[in-house]
Amino acid sequence: MSETSTGTLSVVVERQIPYPPEKIWRALTQPHLIEEWLMKNDFQPVVGHHFDLRADWGAVGCRVVAVEPNRTLSYTWEAYGLESVVTWTLTPSATGTHLRMEQAGFRPDQQQAYQGAKAGWPRFLAALEQLLARTD
Protein backbone atom coordinates (compact mmCIF):
# COMPACT_ATOMS: atom_id res chain seq x y z
CA MET A 1 0.00 0.00 0.00
CA SER A 2 1.65 3.23 -1.04
CA GLU A 3 1.66 6.17 1.30
CA THR A 4 -0.09 8.50 -1.14
CA SER A 5 -3.08 6.22 -1.61
CA THR A 6 -4.27 6.41 1.98
CA GLY A 7 -7.06 8.79 2.93
CA THR A 8 -8.88 10.58 0.17
CA LEU A 9 -7.77 9.94 -3.34
CA SER A 10 -6.58 13.36 -4.27
CA VAL A 11 -3.38 14.89 -5.52
CA VAL A 12 -2.27 18.34 -4.37
CA VAL A 13 0.64 20.24 -5.85
CA GLU A 14 1.41 23.73 -4.52
CA ARG A 15 4.10 26.18 -5.56
CA GLN A 16 5.13 29.71 -4.90
CA ILE A 17 5.44 31.37 -8.33
CA PRO A 18 7.22 34.72 -8.77
CA TYR A 19 4.56 36.17 -11.10
CA PRO A 20 1.20 37.87 -10.48
CA PRO A 21 -2.04 35.84 -10.69
CA GLU A 22 -3.09 37.63 -13.90
CA LYS A 23 -0.11 36.27 -15.81
CA ILE A 24 -0.55 32.73 -14.48
CA TRP A 25 -4.27 32.92 -15.30
CA ARG A 26 -3.41 33.56 -18.96
CA ALA A 27 -1.19 30.47 -19.02
CA LEU A 28 -3.99 28.41 -17.46
CA THR A 29 -6.78 29.60 -19.76
CA GLN A 30 -5.44 30.54 -23.21
CA PRO A 31 -5.39 27.49 -25.51
CA HIS A 32 -2.07 28.28 -27.25
CA LEU A 33 -0.42 28.79 -23.84
CA ILE A 34 -2.06 25.70 -22.26
CA GLU A 35 -0.62 23.69 -25.14
CA GLU A 36 2.90 24.85 -24.22
CA TRP A 37 2.89 23.41 -20.73
CA LEU A 38 0.06 20.85 -20.65
CA MET A 39 -1.46 19.48 -23.86
CA LYS A 40 -3.14 20.45 -27.13
CA ASN A 41 -6.66 21.57 -26.35
CA ASP A 42 -9.82 23.43 -27.32
CA PHE A 43 -10.33 25.02 -23.93
CA GLN A 44 -12.69 27.96 -23.35
CA PRO A 45 -13.11 29.62 -19.93
CA VAL A 46 -16.87 29.03 -19.97
CA VAL A 47 -18.68 26.95 -17.36
CA GLY A 48 -20.13 23.84 -18.98
CA HIS A 49 -17.76 23.95 -21.95
CA HIS A 50 -16.53 20.51 -23.01
CA PHE A 51 -12.96 20.25 -24.21
CA ASP A 52 -10.28 17.65 -24.86
CA LEU A 53 -6.66 17.61 -23.84
CA ARG A 54 -4.79 15.62 -26.47
CA ALA A 55 -1.41 13.93 -26.23
CA ASP A 56 0.44 11.17 -28.10
CA TRP A 57 -0.88 8.59 -25.65
CA GLY A 58 -4.53 9.60 -25.95
CA ALA A 59 -6.98 12.23 -24.83
CA VAL A 60 -8.40 13.51 -21.58
CA GLY A 61 -12.07 14.52 -21.70
CA CYS A 62 -12.83 17.65 -19.69
CA ARG A 63 -15.73 19.93 -18.78
CA VAL A 64 -15.36 23.36 -17.20
CA VAL A 65 -16.92 23.42 -13.72
CA ALA A 66 -15.92 26.81 -12.31
CA VAL A 67 -14.27 29.98 -13.62
CA GLU A 68 -13.41 32.90 -11.35
CA PRO A 69 -10.86 34.99 -13.29
CA ASN A 70 -7.42 35.24 -11.67
CA ARG A 71 -8.63 33.21 -8.68
CA THR A 72 -10.14 29.79 -9.41
CA LEU A 73 -10.43 27.41 -12.35
CA SER A 74 -11.96 23.96 -12.10
CA TYR A 75 -12.63 21.25 -14.68
CA THR A 76 -13.43 17.57 -14.77
CA TRP A 77 -10.69 15.24 -15.97
CA GLU A 78 -11.75 11.93 -17.47
CA ALA A 79 -9.20 9.40 -18.66
CA TYR A 80 -9.18 5.61 -18.69
CA GLY A 81 -12.79 5.55 -17.54
CA LEU A 82 -12.01 7.47 -14.34
CA GLU A 83 -13.42 10.91 -13.75
CA SER A 84 -11.74 13.30 -11.35
CA VAL A 85 -11.88 17.06 -10.86
CA VAL A 86 -8.90 19.39 -11.26
CA THR A 87 -9.09 22.69 -9.38
CA TRP A 88 -6.58 25.52 -9.68
CA THR A 89 -6.45 28.16 -6.96
CA LEU A 90 -4.41 31.36 -7.33
CA THR A 91 -3.69 33.41 -4.21
CA PRO A 92 -1.66 36.65 -4.42
CA SER A 93 1.37 36.63 -2.15
CA ALA A 94 4.17 39.05 -1.24
CA THR A 95 6.47 37.57 -3.87
CA GLY A 96 3.92 36.72 -6.56
CA THR A 97 1.32 33.97 -6.41
CA HIS A 98 0.69 30.87 -4.39
CA LEU A 99 -0.52 28.38 -7.02
CA ARG A 100 -2.38 25.30 -5.87
CA MET A 101 -3.63 22.39 -8.00
CA GLU A 102 -5.87 19.74 -6.52
CA GLN A 103 -7.02 16.71 -8.48
CA ALA A 104 -9.75 15.14 -6.42
CA GLY A 105 -10.56 11.46 -6.44
CA PHE A 106 -13.30 9.80 -8.33
CA ARG A 107 -16.79 10.98 -9.01
CA PRO A 108 -19.45 9.19 -6.97
CA ASP A 109 -21.66 7.07 -9.19
CA GLN A 110 -24.97 8.56 -10.16
CA GLN A 111 -26.82 5.29 -10.06
CA GLN A 112 -26.66 2.07 -8.22
CA ALA A 113 -27.37 -0.96 -10.38
CA TYR A 114 -26.42 -3.72 -7.98
CA GLN A 115 -28.85 -4.33 -5.14
CA GLY A 116 -27.56 -4.55 -1.61
CA ALA A 117 -24.21 -2.97 -2.34
CA LYS A 118 -23.22 0.64 -2.53
CA ALA A 119 -20.22 0.49 -4.80
CA GLY A 120 -19.62 4.15 -5.53
CA TRP A 121 -15.97 4.86 -6.28
CA PRO A 122 -15.11 6.55 -2.97
CA ARG A 123 -16.68 3.78 -0.93
CA PHE A 124 -15.18 1.11 -3.15
CA LEU A 125 -11.69 2.53 -2.76
CA ALA A 126 -12.10 2.99 0.98
CA ALA A 127 -13.17 -0.65 1.25
CA LEU A 128 -10.18 -1.76 -0.79
CA GLU A 129 -7.80 0.23 1.35
CA GLN A 130 -9.18 -1.42 4.47
CA LEU A 131 -8.90 -4.80 2.84
CA LEU A 132 -5.35 -4.24 1.62
CA ALA A 133 -4.31 -2.92 5.04
CA ARG A 134 -5.53 -6.17 6.56
CA THR A 135 -3.65 -8.32 4.05
CA ASP A 136 -0.27 -6.58 4.50
Partner 1 sequence: MPESHDLLFKTLADPTRRAIFERLCREGEQTVAALTARAGVSQPAVSKHLGALKQAGLVLDRHQGRQTHYSAQLGALTPLIDWTSQMAGFWHSRFDALEDLLKRMDQ
Site for partner 1, rule CB under 8 A: 1-2, 4-5, 9-11, 13, 15, 17, 19, 23-24, 26-27, 33, 36-38, 57-58, 79-82, 99, 101, 103, 109, 111-117, 119-121, 124-125, 127-128, 131-132, 135
For 124, the 3-state DSSP assignment is helix
Question: 48 or 81: whose CB is closer to partner 1?
Answer: 81
Q: How far is the CB of 46 from partner 1 (least distance, A)?
A: 22
**Stretch (H or E) spanning 53:** strand 50-55
Nearer to partner 1, 44 or 103 (CB): 103
CB of 106 to partner 1, least distance (A): 9
Which one, 5 or 95, has the nearer CB to partner 1? 5
Q: 111: Cβ–Cβ under 8 A, 6 or more apart, which residues?
A: none
With respect to partner 1, which residue has the nearer C-beta, 94 or 111?
111
Closest CA to 121 of 78, 62, 88: 78
The Cα–Cα gap between 110 and 128 comes to 20
Cβ partners under 8 Å of residue 118, min gap 6: 112
